Amino acid sequence: MKKTERLDKLLAHAGFGTRSEIRKLVKAGAVTVGGQPAKDSGMQVDPEAGSVQVNGEPVLFREYVYLMLHKPPGYVSATEDNRDRTVLELIGRDYRHFELFPVGRLDKDTEGLLLLTNDGQLAHNLLSPKKHVPKTYYAEVDGQVTDADREAFRRGAQLDDGYITLPAELNILEEGNPAAGHAAKVELTIHEGKFHQVKRMFQSTGKTVVYLKRLSMGTLRLDDRLKKGEYRELTGDELEGLRRYHELQSDRS
Ligand code: URA
């Protein structure tokens, strides 16, 4: 059976204004369904039939949106905040009505990949501690990062609250030389998302993260064509990758 919805609800969700504004559009004859002027903004229509037009333009109805944002520093990963700018303020008006939220948090000073969506189920799966979604970060660290740190992270680092992290993979790009003022450059892949995890892992070795950028989450990699503050929708393949990854993970758990 075809699933139908109220015309005004669909158009409101597609960004055409409030229900009363849509009623006015319908009254003015701007909305057609199947080529005929819509009679009533409360009429039932099939959103998948592709038959609704506003001012002669076909309307694409969709429920979920998935955006990859290159988060710049200085923004908090929240939908609202009294003090700071939020990552939602970087998103254009066209997406406002979708009520997007960030999937997980990056610290205010952290940059890089942040997924925004209104798909609660996908977000829940990606954030679930049971799924162990890998997240890879590029970090610059004040101090010398050595094989001993790699080994310690592989075994699990003990954080300041006593928690021992799951094994994490540390790839040392440059060891760093504090005496010469050269920060270490590393990539770290973690499989959980404790508060300030990367910074606290390095803290456990007596070193300080001075720059942090997320490169990937699950199968999703930050598109290096996106400048800080820019975003784009995920491709079908990227979305499939995240979904497929999760089916595999849940089969195992
Ligand atoms: N780990 C951190 O310490 N900060 C982040 O923003 C993300 C991971």
What percent of the chain has pLDDT above 90? 81
Can you give the pLDDT at residue 89?
97
Return the structure tokens found at 47: 């959103």
**What homologous superfamily does CATH list for 135-217?**
Alpha-L RNA-binding motif (3.30.70.1560)
The b-or-e profile of 58-75 (16+ CB within 10 A means b, else e) is: ebebeeebbbbbbbbeeb
Q: What's the rounded mean pLDDT across residues 150-169?
A: 97
Residues 87, 116: Cα–Cα separation, whole Å: 9
Residues 191, 218: Cα–Cα separation, whole Å: 9
Evaluate: CB of 197 within 6 angstroms of ligand 1. yes
Q: Which residue from 188, 192, 212 has its CB within 8 A of the most atoms of ligand 1, so it is best to mutate? A: 212
CATH of region 66-124+225-252: 3.30.70.580
Return the structure tokens found at 181: 């003022």
Can you give the pLDDT at residue 36?
93
Q: Which residue from 105, 197, 204, 215 has its CB within 8 A of the most atoms of ligand 1, so it is best to mutate? A: 197
**What homologous superfamily does CATH list for 5-58?**
RNA-binding S4 domain (3.10.290.10)
> Where are the domains positioned within the chain?
5-58, 66-124+225-252, 135-217
Separation of 234 CA from ligand 1 center, angstroms?
A: 23
Residues 116, 33: Cα–Cα separation, whole Å: 32
Which tens digit of pLDDT belongs to each residue from 126-141?
A: 998 888 899 999 999 9
Which tens digit of pLDDT belongs to each residue from 220-252?
A: 999 999 999 999 999 999 999 999 766 655 544
Evaluate: CB of 199 within 6 angstroms of ligand 1. yes
* 5-58 and 66-124+225-252, same CATH topology: no
Q: What residues contact residue 53 under an 8 Å CB cut-off, 6+ apart? A: 31, 32, 59
- Report strand pairing: 101-102 vs 135-142: unpaired
Residue 118's φ and ψ, nearest 5 degrees, are -120, 15
Can you give the pLDDT at residue 131?
86
Which tens digit of pLDDT belongs to each residue from 61-81?
A: 888 999 999 999 999 999 999
Confidence tier at 58 by pLDDT (50, 70, 90): confident
Which tens digit of pLDDT belongs to each residue from 209-219?
A: 999 999 999 99
Evaluate: CB of 113 within 6 angstroms of ligand 1. no
Which residue, chain included where needed, has tokens 């109220």? Answer: 6
